[in-house]
Structure 1
Amino acid sequence: MESYPPLPLSSPVPVAPPLLNWAGNYRYSTTQLAQADSVEEVQEIVRTTDQLKVLGSRHCFNGIADSTQQLLSLGATEQAIYLDTDAHTVTVPASITYGRLAPTLHSQGFALHNLASLPHISVVGACATATHGSGIQHGNLATAVRAMEFVLASGEVRVLSPETDGDEFLGAVVHVGALGVVTKLTLAMEPTFQLRQDVYENLPLTQVCEHFAAIQASAYSVSLFTDWQDESITQVWLKQRLVPGVPLQPAPSEFFGAQRATQDLHPLAGLSPVNCTEQMGVPGPWHDRLPHFRLGFTPSSGQELQSEYFVPLRHAQEAIRAVACLHEHLRPCLQVSEMRTVAADALWLSPCYQQDSLAIHFTWKPDWAAVSRVLPLLERELSPFGVRPHWGKLFTLSATQLQSQYEKLPAFQALMAQYDPKGKFRNAFINTYLARPL
């Protein structure tokens, strides 16, 4: 039997690198990351684990998906996409991103009703947190869900649909990871369509407040970018749906006092527009125009923190003026802000539950110390309007304030008790903002 000299006492013990989110601002509390290659493996991991959370594209900026014990990746599970052309639905695996799904649908002659600003995010994670696109006639991405398959804490596979489960389905769609591990989603489709994208510069803020409804109704999707510093909207992005057979017309040179851009632009001054979807009125398929950023390029700035707040659309002008008053506080830590509108829905934990909403998004510099001082000021100014934060982004609202804005929270808590009676899918975030004590 061969013998080997002992390792020197100074030899380092290998340590797993920390797991970080997409932006690098959040370090998960464990490096234990399991990967499931099938639904059966998901069931086995769930049955044999006391506490776990699922990691998707890691695009949340807070601890909503964190675990101190076990994280689970579904990146290697079934990759097939199932089209039901008669029902106009598509069933997708938990691992899929919009960037992979959308071109596939388009190639088969179909589309989704909306997309977020970047295609890099996972479908399941976006729907779980009620992430959204833009357009006053369009609900958030979760409103496309027509059925969901997930693994309960017991390991049982459950399928929910509005036809068989009614209100329970409406409660489960925006589940923020608190009910189980979603393994498949079925989404509504529609025939594919084309869009053009035109950008306008320097829209006076007075025009926004006086003509807000008309501005938001002017295109299929409307985004207003500003740094809140000079009483103007820096850029207006209009994504106009084209009507088949109707000739393409030149875009007007002026839009409520804003001037049409003469070159492609990035929402952040000084960054290359090569990262952005094509502008200048060039027609293109829906999935190449609805997002702001191209797949395969760095979305937004890449070095950032994010927050987003929703207020009822009826308070839009007041909320805009309230934020504008904080321009001096915003200046040191803000990169850019975006305003969009989202249609009301019936999903219990959606920030747009039963109210058309204005979403005010903030892309911050990666300086949490500075941002954490500004967020309470923003939340104080927006609180008279019943503000609701995006579940997966940074906020400092108290649990009491947040819970007061969700009338269906007690019903959701009952779902949690039913599906996960021992709190297997709970974590600090869920316990703080959503759960009753066990």
Structure 2
Amino acid sequence: MRTNWAGSHVYEASDLVTPTSVAEVQELVAVSPRIRALGSRHSFTDLADTPGLQVSLAGLPSTVEVVGDAVRVPAGLRYGDLATELAPRGLALANLASLPHISVAGAVATGTHGSGRRNPSLAAAVRGLEMVSGTGELLRLSGADLAGAVVGLGALGIVTSLDLAVEPAYDLTQVVYEGLAWPALLERLEDVLGCAYSVSVFTTWVGEEVGQVWVKERTAPDSGTGAPAEPVETLLAAGARPATEQRHMIAGMSVENTTAQLGVAGPWHERLPHFRMGFQPSAGEELQTEYLVPLSRAAEAVAAVRGLGEALREVLFVTELRTIAADDLWLSGAYGEDALALHFTWHREASRVHALVERLEEVLLPLGARPHWGKVFAARAEALAPLYPRWDDFLDLVTSCDPQGRFRNAWTERHLGI
């Protein structure tokens, strides 16, 4: 029995194969009526499932190659492993997700992101990609063609490599602040979320105080793409205080799993994620949900969810609030507008979580909220289509790249209508 990372979904795929070459991937696609790529299994639903064959890309050559101002990365490589390849070369990515355990192709295809008022999603770093289409053809996409294909949900083909923008390596500090009261956060929500290079607010929605604010700041002037909107004094003025000991955002979890805090400077890849490579991230046996709301509606969204706080508390480990800069990727949660991400880490109680997800969508979808594609949500294609201006263009691209529907599954039928 094969399951996803959290054990919340048992795959129905007939088999899992691990090809060792792109040519082998092409052959598998050509002879398989139904086929899907399987990454690090961090999706919480049947997104990567199929009634046919699953393909792991972990067996492809793992060489990372510098190509101009980018690096060419094997699709199955995990971000933590990529970081260990880049660091000795003096190179870095502009951002990372909260855990480095996820594969590059899987994270990009689902619109996964880190945090930062001026930092777009991980998918925005893609400068080119190589993909096996539904006809078995090997395509290399760059330039304007990328906008529709990067956040592709595995529906266009099997991505075999990606070109990612890089920059000179840098160091960061990480400090956790506590004691921030709800009125202070609501009064200056955007100031708090924009007070450093990367900011995450953790809360359970109940009580007088918000919870924790994780602040990650570069130790030297950056290139201008992530300069703080305001200094960290924003938090101090709002009554927050720095924690004096290492913290985990979930009560009762081991702090050894989290990246170094207390203002100690360290390399980008050891501070941008919340969790350390090689250690259990988050809570483990859990479910996750996330919605990206236009930043212009952020205060309304936070107020609406706080109104559900008592209903959420028994099933919720923690919520994380982060900002993501706008991009032009067709199915991105931040397409065309900066966004506030509201991320929910739940106890693994599926029926209770799904009931709460429906309540969240009742208040958030009218605000323009878009779901994180790799996590648990309820909205179907008819409700999602109006939220994405290039929705029909994406479906046309799917048909063009996969005319026989090899990459379609129950998930694409529910949430894309194909």
Contact 1:252 1:260 survives alignment (8 Å): no
> Deviation of residue 231 (structure 1)?
3.8
Residue 56 in structure 1 maps to residue 33 in structure 2:
no
Structure 1: gaps of 5 or more residues: 1-17
1:66 aligns with 2:49: yes
Q: Structure 1 residue 224 and structure 2 residue 201: aligned? A: yes
Q: Residue 34 of structure 1 is aligned with which of 1, 6, 17?
A: 17
Alignment partners' CA distance in 2, 1:304 and 1:399: 25
Aligned counterpart, 1:145: 126
For residue 59 of structure 2, what is the amino acid of its counterpart?
A
Post-superposition Cα deviations, 1:305-350, rounded to whole Å, max 9, x if no partner, equal 0000110001111110100000111011000110000000000000
1:214: how far off?
Answer: 1.4
2:246 is the alignment partner of 1:269: no
Contact kept? 1:198, 1:251, Cα under 8 Å: no
Contact 1:253 1:260 in 2 (8 A): no
> What residue is the counterpart of 1:88 in the other structure?
69
Indicate the residue corresponding to 1:322 in structure 2: 304
Aligned counterpart for 2:156 among listed residues 160, 173, 179: 179
Paired residue type of 1:97: R
| Distance in 2, Cα, partners of 1:198 & 1:103 | 24
> With structure 1 as the length reference, what TM-score do the two structures score?
0.91
> What residue identity is the alignment partner of 1:215?
V
Aligned to 2:227: none
> Partners of 1:343 and 1:407 in 2: how far apart?
18
Find the counterpart in structure 1 of residue 180 from structure 2.
203
The aligned residue for residue 30 of structure 2 is: 47
The corresponding residue for 1:193 is 170
Q: Which residue of 2 aligns with 1:128?
A: 109
2:47 counterpart SS class: helix
SS state at 1:207 partner: helix
- Letter paired with 1:241: R
2:268 aligned with 1:291, yes or no? no
Deviation at 1:399, TM superposition (A): 2.2
| Higher Cα radius of gyration | 1
Q: 1:259 aligns with which of 215, 238, 241?
A: 241
Give ranges in structure 2 of 5+ residues lacking alignment.
223-230
The DSSP-based 3-state class of the residue aligned with 1:323 is helix
Aligned partners of 1:334 and 1:364 also within 8 Å: yes
CA distance in 2, matches of 1:256, 1:272: 29
CA contact (8 A) 2:133 2:156 kept: yes
In the alignment, which residue of structure 2 is the partner of 1:154?
A: 135
Are 1:373 and 2:355 counterparts?
yes
Whether 1:406 and 2:388 are equivalent positions in the alignment is yes
In 1: Cα distance, 2:237 partner to 2:350 partner: 36
Q: Which residue, out of 45, 61, 64, partners 1:78? A: 61
In the alignment, structure 1 residue 364 sits paired with structure 2 residue 346: yes
Instruction: Give the match for residue 117 of structure 1.
Output: 98
Partner of 1:4: none
Counterparts of 2:375 and 2:232, CA distance in 1: 38
Structure 1 residues 251, 353: closer, same or farther in 2, change over 3 A?
A: closer
Aligned-partner Cα distance in 2 for 1:113–1:295: 18
Q: 2:335 aligns with which of 344, 353, 361?
A: 353
Which residue of the partner structure matches residue 406 of structure 2? 424
Looking at structure 2, the residues matched to 95 and 372 of structure 1 have their Cα atoms a distance apart, in angstroms, of: 30
**Contact 2:290–2:343 (CA under 8 A) maintained in structure 1:** yes
The CA distance in 2 between the partners of 1:168 and 1:389, in whole Å, is 24
Asked if 1 retains the 8 angstrom alpha-carbon contact of 2:257 and 2:275, the reply is: yes
SS of corresponding position for 2:303: helix
Cα distance in structure 2, aligned partners of 1:171 and 1:253: 39
Go from structure 1 to structure 2 and tell me whether the alpha carbon gap of 1:258 and 1:161 turns closer, same or farther (over 3 Å shift): same
Structure 2: how far apart are the matches of 1:43 and 1:400?
Answer: 33
Deviations 1:369-410 (A, max 9, x none): 111111111111112211111001001123211122111010
How far did residue 194 of structure 1 move? 0.5
Q: Tell me which amino acid in the other structure corresponds to 1:179.
A: L
Aligned length: 410
Question: Which residue identity lines up with residue 91 of structure 1 in the other structure?
Answer: R
Inter-CA distance 266–251: structure 2 relative to 1 (3 Å threshold): farther
TM-score of the two chains, using structure 2 as the length reference: 0.95
After TM superposition, list the pairs within 5 Å mapping 1:299-314 onto structure 2: 299-314=281-296
* Alignment partner, residue 370 of structure 2: 388
1:3 corresponds to: none
Paired with 1:73 and 1:384, the residues of 2 have a C-alpha distance of 38
| Cα offset, 1:168, TM superposition | 2.5
User: 8 Å contact 1:267–1:336 — kept in the other structure?
Assistant: yes
3-state DSSP of counterpart to 2:42: coil
Q: What is the distance in 1 between the residues matched to 2:201 and 2:76?
A: 31
Query: How far 1:254 sits from its partner (Å)?
Result: 3.1
Are 2:7 and 1:24 aligned?
yes
- The Cα of 1:250 is off from its aligned counterpart by 11
* Aligned residue identity for 1:121: I
Amino acid at match of 1:236: V
Identity %: 47
Aligned to 1:7: none
- Please tell me whether the aligned partners of residues 112 and 190 of structure 1 are also in contact (alpha carbons under 8 angstroms): yes
